[in-house]
Structure 1
């Protein structure tokens, strides 16, 4: 009993009989054959108009669903692209962290190198001071303090030896320092390149996320259009298939069933009538009809409407239930939404007020039902079905 019923009047003769019934129970007084003919012709024109409008709405829904599929694929593609970018950015960050660690090590080596040079110089100076027992004397002062020419030559030799040693130390330290600085420059160059790559990846990531967000917004808009189309299609369906008095009857039966469900004696009686059978076998059997087309009034595997489907599946399990959704809602044990179990029937108010749609609860918030796209599986709490949920009934134990 979903929105596809709009376009499923089996043939024009059936439609004519339907509108004839509408005229008989409605407010029109058919006192003359001419008036009847005129009224029937008008109703046939109205029916054709409704069917044409229904066909247009169905085409629009199909087009929107096609767009939605394209957008979902695009969003999935951007998800993959963003994941790849995340991996690359993470790898780049790891490389930058590694280079930063290298830079820190090189800085430590430079500081150690400088300290080593200063230490060597201090040691050589101390050698001079120790040798000539004057903590404040300069190299030139050491020479001037010579007692003789041979002492002068000895002092000069010592200073030359110390100076050469110092020069070698300085050269060695300077060479090491130069090597470290070169490595630092290389690391800085690598860091600059990685930073450029990182910035490019971040910009691409931001762009992809913006595009993906727009696609998500477009998809939500399309899904809203689809739901609005289904609502309109449901209204057209009721206009094609049901008279106002029939719609009122469904609503009245639903209200009566809800009142009856509050009576302890009724609940006790229905509880005693529960049939012992396997809910898993019911669900498994129902799933064999996935994809079976929707047919208004259908009660067989060649085509089901919603209540025809539930009646057929339950009958296979040895459970006898009434034919229509509102009648099914008027029997069975009332079940709260929080106490739903697989095999329970769940009811919704769709194209007409009251229990106008029914499905079989599968567990985990899912149901299997015959709707516009045929027998399929849906969430009972999604944006379409959730607001239309009115209750549940249990027939098995």
Structure 2
């Protein structure tokens, strides 16, 4: 342990206490760190499971979106084809309407022409049509007149029949085209309904995918944070194990020893005189100010007790003390921005410490929500 090499407080190494005193203190810290490690690993495993689930959801949604887009493309292609068919049928209907109009005009013209022929042939300009039949001069003349009327009637009937047959054919075609047009219109409406449904589905899928990706990003960030905490805890566990082994080795070679003499109340009262002194990085005096280890070194140095400069070095002097055995005057250590002892304070009792923090020299609770999780151990340097 570094305590055997760095203790400079003017007495024989304090680590000479019996191993029954040293090992339990390390055991408390080690047990706490291992418990925290177990919790972190459980959280990491749960986060890994959630990440895997979110990735599976994202893959499934991506596949569903591709299928929906393919379906949309097919529907839109069918809509375009149906529109072309509808336009073609409408064009045919327009042509048939034109033919119907032309046939009606022709029929009217042919009827008028026949009527004109009859009047010309049988009235001679002044004789009424019916009188021609009644005023025949002979039987042969009558037969001739009746024959001509019959031939004209037949010709007129044939013409009317031809125009009528053509009219009926066109009307039948027109009816068929209208039925086909109505079917196409109905199909178009159905396709447009399918298209809107697929568009809504695609929007819902995209929204769900965005949410899954957001969750995945958050969980990935959480996993990174947990990995950093695991690495930090592993470093702390390794450090405690190394120091435990060193403490046991030192304790096994010594049976008795002593700590520096000092009055804890006097040390604490002297330290409290610097309440609200500004925090200065690297500071070791009241002016311009202290950092955490500079403050501890200055207060103990006032009573002739020499301590190393940094919190990491101070964590290697004295003897370990379990949290449950803390006494006023003990040094309490925390791991904050980096692995190891990066902050130190003077324990004053009742779970409180005197230390130099960002806001200056203050009294703080070592078990609050900030310091509690960062506590790594304590050292006793006076008796």
Mark the structure with the bigger radius of gyration.
2
Normalising to structure 2: TM-score of the pair? 0.48
